[in-house]
């Protein structure tokens, strides 16, 4: 099994935790995510024009770039994380332009060498897969695709072509960190997605509290939390790691409880 497949098991939903690289003490915050119980690390690559992100992650992008974060810095952070945590999967999330700037093969090789297991590129849909997908797959890096409320049944198989790692269900049509989708619609969507793929399905966008994470954990293989963690980093700056760890631990406990309750009631 690949490192990315390990955390998604039928009896234990995975917690995917996002932070923006270069916003605050990233190494310490990454360690805090792992210590708190995150199963998959999603490291955001800052971009000047994060058009799919809400205010929290937009501001994290600008803080990071304002502090001078470069692409080389991001890969250095990833490689150092891989040395400290050989078994915790890490994926990069970001926008197309920084990823293709030096060519897709360069980017894919950097990912492979830094121990990055997968890549989410917001603005490369399957239609434009050639811009990055073949290079990543050739380097053994998973192309993690997004499915959304607008991805209908006819389109879904196409979206899954060349996809790897897990399928990220964007639970609301919108930007990160804003409104949350109704639980019933998430359950329906996850069931539909799981019928179409063997990949684990993780749900994100608008998941902010342990209760929400627990609700989603009842139906999905994974829960993605981003903006709420990024807001803690913005609020607590150099003291953030302890708050991040405690918050992630509260998410993890709630998710574990969710499945346990389900088993008891079943």
Could you give the residue numbers annotated as active site?
42, 53
- Count Cβ atoms below 10 Å from residue 252 Cβ, excluding itself: 21
Report the nearest approach of other proteins to the CB of residue 83 (Å). 23
The CB-side HSE value for 130 (13 A sphere, CA atoms) comes to 1
The answer to the question of residue 100 lying near other proteins (CB under 8 A) is yes
Pick the closer one to other proteins by CB: 51 or 246: 51
* E strand or H helix at 169: strand 167-170
Output the smallest distance, CB 135 to other proteins, in A: 15
x-marked contacts with other proteins along 187-226 as a string, rule CB under 8 A: ----------------------------------------
Alpha-carbon distance 221 to 263, whole Å? 15
Cβ-based nearer residue to other proteins, 116 or 124: 124
Contact criterion met (CB below 8 Å) for 173 and 148: yes
Phi then psi for 218, rounded to 5 degrees? -65, -30
- Using the minimum distance from each CB to other proteins, give the nearer residue, 80 or 100: 100
Residue 252 C-beta: closest distance to other proteins, Å: 28
Contacts of 174 (CB under 8 A, 6+ apart): 54, 205, 206
Stretch that binds other proteins, among 85-93, 95-103, 217-225, 249-257 (CB under 8 A): 95-103
Distance in Å, CB of 245 to other proteins, minimum: 30
Is 62 a residue that touches other proteins (CB under 8 A)? yes
Interface with other proteins (CB under 8 A), residue from 11, 83, 87, 152: 152
Report how many residues bind other proteins under the rule CB under 8 A: 42
**Per CB under 8 A, 128 contacts other proteins:** yes
Residue 114 sits in the site that holds other proteins (CB under 8 A):
no
Instruction: State in angstroms the smallest separation of the CB of 117 from other proteins.
Output: 21
Q: Which of 67, 138, 173, 182 binds other proteins (CB under 8 A)?
A: 173
Of all helices (H) and strands (E), which one includes residue 20?
Answer: strand 14-20
Where along the sequence are the contacts to other proteins (CB under 8 A)?
Answer: 47-52, 54, 58, 62, 65, 70-71, 95-101, 122-125, 127-128, 131, 145-152, 155, 159, 170, 172-175, 178
């Amino acid at each position: 099994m690949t490192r990315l497949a390990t955390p998604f098991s039928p009896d234990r939903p995975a917690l995917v935790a996002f932070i923006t690289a270069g916003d605050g003490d990233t190494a310490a915050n990454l360690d805090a995510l792992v210590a708190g119980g995150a199963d998959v690390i999603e490291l955001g690559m800052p971009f000047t024009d994060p058009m799919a992100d809400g205010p929290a992650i937009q501001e994290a992008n600008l803080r990071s770039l304002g502090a001078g974060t470069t692409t080389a810095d991001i890969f250095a952070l990833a490689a150092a994380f891989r040395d400290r945590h050989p078994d915790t999967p890490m994926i990069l999330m970001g926008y197309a332009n920084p990823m293709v700037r030096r060519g897709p093969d360069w980017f894919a090789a950097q990912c492979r060498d830094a121990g990055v297991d997968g890549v989410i590129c917001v603005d490369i849909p399957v239609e434009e897969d050639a811009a990055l997908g073949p290079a990543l797959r050739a380097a053994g890096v998973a192309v993690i695709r997004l499915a959304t409320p607008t991805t209908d049944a006819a389109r879904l198989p196409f979206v899954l072509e060349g996809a790897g790692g897990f399928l990220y269900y964007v639970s609301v049509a919108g930007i990160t960190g804003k409104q949350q989708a109704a639980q019933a619609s998430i359950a329906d969507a996850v069931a539909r997605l799981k019928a179409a793929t063997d990949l684990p399905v993780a749900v994100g966008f608008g998941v902010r509290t342990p209760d929400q994470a627990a609700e989603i954990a009842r139906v999905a293989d994974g829960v993605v939390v981003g903006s709420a963690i990024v807001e803690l980093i913005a609020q607590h700056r150099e003291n953030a790691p302890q708050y991040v760890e405690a918050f992630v631990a509260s998410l993890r406990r709630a998710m574990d409880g969710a499945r346990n309750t389900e088993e008891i009631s079943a």
